[in-house]
């Protein structure tokens, strides 16, 4: 397997041994367009990605502490996340019971280098080391893109679990995580290609999954040896971003502490994407690709 270039950054997240099975649509490299070659390409792509994800670290890697701005959400820099997160270190355990959002699956432009990007909503992760999340992923392998839907419960699950096998750019996605006690329902609907939709019910002890935050994120996955280059994605536009906290339904911007996260390079010299302000209804934003690493 040809490894992508990694930028090494420090982190305290525990190494995760994940698993993945993947069957996905892709455009094979030039000269491999017939059916048999297409099937071989997709098989090679899914096997390579499965090996990567055995060492996937889903946790946030912050670069410093969030800082206040006048009349705006807190600003934070991260090596692997971008988007918005509600919650703070003073948020009580069990505060959040639901998070949801919608987006159109972004297309990616692939070069010779293997690259990744994921889009997801989830609970936990901003403050705690646990995560309950689901979304879409784009994988540039040998110059071509593979897309799929997925979910994950960390650290109680079996790694990142692939579900969708026909995801493509432009598919309309709605995703949510809903908690009742220690029970979680993760639901993703692909309104364009329903075969990619799923609902799964999982459990996590309250001592592990503390539900102290809600997130709406574009991510470049991190691994045991560093962080993958960010795939050159078309704009990730999150809409209908909502959360339920303290028994009250709200939006991304209605929680007491809102954090705007920008992804930066390992030297902390420049941004890898631009994150917009929240929309007037506090339910949406966009992230725009700038650099891969």
User: Maximum CA pair distance of the chain?
Assistant: 58
Whole-prediction pTM value? 0.88
In the predicted structure, residue 28 carries a pLDDT above the cut 80: no
**Cα–Cα distance measured from residue 256 to residue 166, given in angstroms and rounded to the nearest whole number:** 39
Paired tokens of 285: 């934003």
Go through 193-216 and write b for each residue having 16 or more CB atoms within 10 A of its CB, e for each that does not. Answer: beebbbeeebebeeeebbbbbbbb
> Does residue 213 sit in helix, strand or coil?
coil
Q: List, for residues 71-120, the tens digit of each pLDDT value.
A: 889 999 999 999 999 999 999 999 999 999 999 999 999 999 999 999 99
Taking CA 17 as the corner, what is the angle to CA 195 and CA 40, rounded to the nearest 5 degrees?
Answer: 50
Is 70 exposed, middle or buried (CB count within 10 Å of its CB: 0-12, 13-18, 19+)?
Answer: exposed
91 within 8 A of 257, measured Cβ to Cβ: yes
Q: Which residue matches tokens 């397997």?
A: 1
- DSSP code string of 58-91: -S--BSS--EEETTEEEEEEESSEEEEEE--TTP
The CATH classification number of 35-289 equals: 2.60.120.700
State pLDDT tens for residues 220-241.
Answer: 999 877 899 999 999 999 999 9
Lowest mean pLDDT among 71-80, 132-141, 158-167: 158-167
| pLDDT value for 79 | 96
Q: What is residue 30's predicted lDDT score, i.e. its pLDDT?
A: 52
pLDDT in tens, 277-286: 999 999 999 9
pLDDT tens for each residue of 249-281? 999 999 999 999 999 999 999 999 999 999 999
3-state SS, one letter per residue, for 237-275? EEEEEEEEECCEEEEHHHCCCEEEEEEECCCCCCECEEE
Residues forming a β-bridge with 178: 98, 185
Which SS3 state, helix, strand or coil, does residue 35 take?
helix
């Amino acid at each position: 397997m040809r490894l992508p270039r990694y930028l090494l950054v420090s982190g305290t997240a525990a190494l995760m041994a994940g698993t993945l099975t993947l069957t996905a649509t892709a455009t094979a490299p030039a000269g491999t367009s017939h059916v048999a070659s297409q099937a071989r390409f997709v098989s090679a792509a899914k096997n390579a990605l499965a090996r990567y994800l055995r060492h996937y670290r889903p946790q946030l890697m912050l670069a410093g502490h969030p800082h206040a701005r006048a009349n705006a959400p807190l600003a934070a820099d991260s090596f692997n996340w971008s988007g918005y997160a509600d919650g703070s270190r003073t948020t009580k355990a069990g505060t959040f019971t639901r998070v949801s959002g919608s987006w159109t699956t972004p297309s990616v432009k692939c070069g010779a280098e293997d690259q990744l990007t994921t889009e997801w909503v989830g609970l936990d992760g901003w403050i705690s080391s646990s995560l309950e999340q689901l979304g879409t992923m784009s994988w540039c392998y040998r110059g071509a893109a593979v897309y799929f839907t997925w979910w994950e419960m960390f650290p109680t699950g079996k790694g990142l679990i692939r579900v969708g096998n026909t995801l493509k750019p432009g598919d309309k996605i709605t995703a949510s995580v809903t908690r009742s006690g220690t029970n979680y329902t993760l639901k993703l609907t692909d309104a364009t290609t329903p075969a990619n939709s799923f609902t799964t019910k999982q459990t996590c002890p309250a001592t592990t999954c503390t539900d102290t935050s809600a997130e709406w994120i574009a991510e470049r996955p991190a691994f045991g040896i560093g962080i993958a280059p960010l795939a050159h994605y078309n704009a990730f536009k999150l809409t209908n971003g909502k959360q339920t906290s303290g028994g009250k339904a709200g939006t991304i911007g209605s929680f007491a502490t809102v954090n705007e996260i920008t992804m930066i390079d390992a030297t902390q010299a420049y941004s890898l994407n631009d994150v917009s302000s929240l929309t007037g209804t506090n339910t949406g934003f966009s992230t725009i690709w700038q650099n891969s690493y």
